[in-house]
Amino acid sequence: MSAIVALAEAQEWGEPIGCQYVCMDVADFMSAAPVEVVTAIHLLNHARTVEDLERFDCASFRVLRSGGLPVVYNTYV
């Protein structure tokens, strides 16, 4: 587990807002039920090819409910 996920889970435990934090290869992520929001923080810079980006997109939209919201934040430094 990453330190960032551990910190987020600790905050969730202290003040629950109903979030589940996952640290794994996004292309392998599956959800038992469709989700309202998928966040991808600093993900796109890990793509090395167009195919990687397509895998990221497909995985995100596979788990979103119809009308769900993908949220992506990335910086290129």
44 within 8 A of 11, measured Cβ to Cβ: no
Query: What b/e string do you get for 53-67 counting C-beta neighbours within 10 Å, with b at 16 or more?
Result: eebbbebbeebbeee
Q: Is residue 1 situated within a structural domain?
A: no
Any residues with CB less than 8 A from the CB of 55 and at least 6 apart, and which? 26, 27
Nearest to 41 by CA among 64, 67, 22, 28: 22
Q: Is residue 54 situated within a structural domain?
A: yes
Q: How many domains does the chain have?
A: 1
Q: What's the gap between Cα 57 and its chain centre?
A: 11
pLDDT at 3: 85
Q: Is residue 66 situated within a structural domain?
A: yes
Q: Is residue 17 situated within a structural domain?
A: no
Range of the domain at 47: 23-77
Q: Is residue 2 situated within a structural domain?
A: no
For residue 77, pLDDT beyond 60: no
Q: Is residue 64 situated within a structural domain?
A: yes
Q: Is residue 6 situated within a structural domain?
A: no
Report pLDDT digits (tens) over 31-76: 889 999 988 888 888 889 999 889 988 988 899 999 999 998 887 6
pLDDT at 24: 81
Q: Is residue 9 situated within a structural domain?
A: no
Tracing tokens 């195919």 back to the chain, one arrives at: 51
Give this prediction's pTM: 0.64
